[in-house]
Amino acid sequence: LIIYSDLDGTFLDYHTYSFAASLPALRRALDRGASVVFCSSKTRAEIQALQATLSLSSPFISENGGGIFIPEGFFSFELEELPREGSIRLLRLGKPYKELVTALTDVRERLGVDMRGFSDMTAEEIGQLCGLGLCESLLAKQREFDEPFLLKSNEEGLLDKICEVFAEGGMRVTRGGRLFHLTGENDKGEAIRRLTELFQRDEGNIRTVGIGDSVNDLPMLEEVDHPVLVQKPDGSYDETVLSRLPDATRAKGAGPVGWASEVMNLI
Ligand SMILES: [Mg+2]
């Protein structure tokens, strides 16, 4: 059993980023031999810090499918075709961060819209915006494949126009829990497809679960055998996801509470 999980608002509480509610279920799942793979818009640095806190050493997917990170020796076969950084093999699917930042600046000037990316903000501002401490904000700024941004205006049709211009340059805009995200043509779904192939090569017959809370999780949920949607803090489920995946399991509880209840059911 491979459990692919979003972090913000799913494994972690939307407001406090606490994993207190999901931790017992995570331990149970790991004890039963399941693999838990984080698949988030967070950066490599943020996910590594979380994994260290949890003593978790599985592969993970950063920045909305931009990068897949596999600990050396995790699979029974060699991954020599992938570049190695320290004790990690890295599969890059995303556009380099620099290109995304340049594109955001260009589009802002071309359309004259008020968009601010993480690269325009100090760590303190990111902390205030996302409810993160200074250390965590510094980790969140270490970006490789995804530029989160704020769009001040909610003028009708503006977002469509922005998306169109980015699409001409081979880029996409997705919406996470708090912010928009500018990425290359990668998404969580493609990353999961690639990683699942490796798990299959290693273990043969596997079953995949995906757990998320937002529309940026849709490509991930479409890719797994068993899609699970947790509640948002107000108790609702993401309507876009449900309209596309009406049979997705609706976990009882917001974020990590729903996460724990559904993972316990599954194992
Ligand atoms: Mg989320």
Q: What percent of the chain has pLDDT over 70?
A: 100
Q: What is the mean pLDDT of residues 7-33?
A: 96
Concatenated DSSP letters for 89-105? EEEE-SPPHHHHHHHHH
Distance 193 CA to ligand 1 centre (A): 19
- Torsion 224-226-232-236 (CA) sign: positive
Distance 255 CA to ligand 1 centre (A): 8
Separation between Cα atoms, residue 2 and residue 4, nearest integer Å: 6
At 107-116, the pLDDT tens digits run 999 999 999 9
- Pull the structure tokens for residue 183: 């990425």
34 SS3 class: coil
> Does the pLDDT value for residue 176 go beyond 80?
no
Spatial CA neighbour of 107 closest among 182, 167, 166, 180: 166
Distance 176 CA to ligand 1 centre (A): 6
Half-sphere exposure of 139 (CA within 13 A, CB side): 17
Q: Given the residues 6, 8, 13, 187, select the one marked as catalytic.
A: 6
At 118-130, the pLDDT tens digits run 999 999 999 999 9
Spatial CA neighbour of 245 closest among 218, 225, 216, 208: 218
> Does the pLDDT value for residue 147 go beyond 90?
yes
- Whether residue 182 contacts residue 174, with contact meaning beta carbons closer than 8 Å, is answered with no
- Pull the structure tokens for residue 171: 């880029």
Separation between Cα atoms, residue 140 and residue 135, nearest integer Å: 9
Distance 41 CA to ligand 1 centre (A): 8
Distance 37 CA to ligand 1 centre (A): 14
> Does the pLDDT value for residue 177 go beyond 80?
no
Distance 124 CA to ligand 1 centre (A): 22
Spatial CA neighbour of 58 closest among 135, 137, 5, 136: 5
User: Is 6 among the catalytic positions?
Assistant: yes
Q: What is the mean pLDDT of residues 92-107?
A: 96
Q: What is the mean pLDDT of residues 218-241?
A: 97
Q: Which helix (H) or strand (E) holds 4?
A: strand 2-5
> Does the pLDDT value for residue 152 go beyond 90?
no
pLDDT at site 175 = 82
